[in-house]
Amino acid sequence: MIQPMEHLWAPWRMEFIKGPKPAGCFFCEAAAADPADDPAHLVLARTNLSLAILNRYPYNNGHLMVAPTAHLANLEDLPPAAAGDLTTLTQRSLRVLRRVLSPQGFNLGINAGKIAGAGVADHVHQHVVPRWDADTNFMPVVAETKVLNEHLTKSYQELRAGFDRLT
């Protein structure tokens, strides 16, 4: 028996899709910024080779991205040290999200190239999306509204504190 296809509806992301795009790369801008400005860039954690940054247009509460500091489009172009650091920071991100938000699962993924859905195709990054049982409902479908349980600023503060505790 063929199972019906499930859909993840995210109409609130149209602001990102249709809206004006910044001139530069926000990953590079965040990586180059003074760490004192991390809250303005939603940087949750940084290393010399990568950073974890909260998504401004999340699929779910706690949706973050892990990106190398090097501006490279393809995962296979990352030097081994940067690829390893990206994985290590992703693991740390999962630990923090588990402790702070207690999700029941995660979607992890890299959209490689614009045709694959990358909103920022020229800077490789991995999405980490926390998931909970029944975290989708009728609202996105019927009302074209996604209910996020927490304001982005509050999510940032809680997750940043979690990263600071888990060094």
Supply the CATH number for residue 49's domain: 3.30.428.10
Q: What are the catalytic residues?
A: 125
Expressed as residue numbers, the domain containing 51 is: 26-165
Asked if residue 20 is part of any domain, the answer here is: no
Each of the 167 residues of the chain gets a pLDDT tens digit; together they read 666 655 554 554 556 556 666 678 999 999 999 999 999 999 999 999 999 999 998 888 899 999 999 999 999 999 999 999 999 999 999 999 999 999 999 999 999 888 888 888 899 999 999 998 877 654 444 444 455 566 888 899 999 999 999 87
Question: Pairing mode, if any, of strands 105-109 and 64-68?
Answer: unpaired
pTM above 0.85, yes or no: no
Total domain count, the chain: 1
| 3-class state of residue 126 by DSSP | strand
Q: Which helix (H) or strand (E) holds 128?
A: strand 126-131
Q: Cα angle at 107 between 81 and 153, to 5 degrees?
A: 85
Asked if residue 43 is part of any domain, the answer here is: yes
Asked if residue 44 is part of any domain, the answer here is: yes
Are 30 and 43 in contact by the 8 Å Cβ rule? The answer is yes
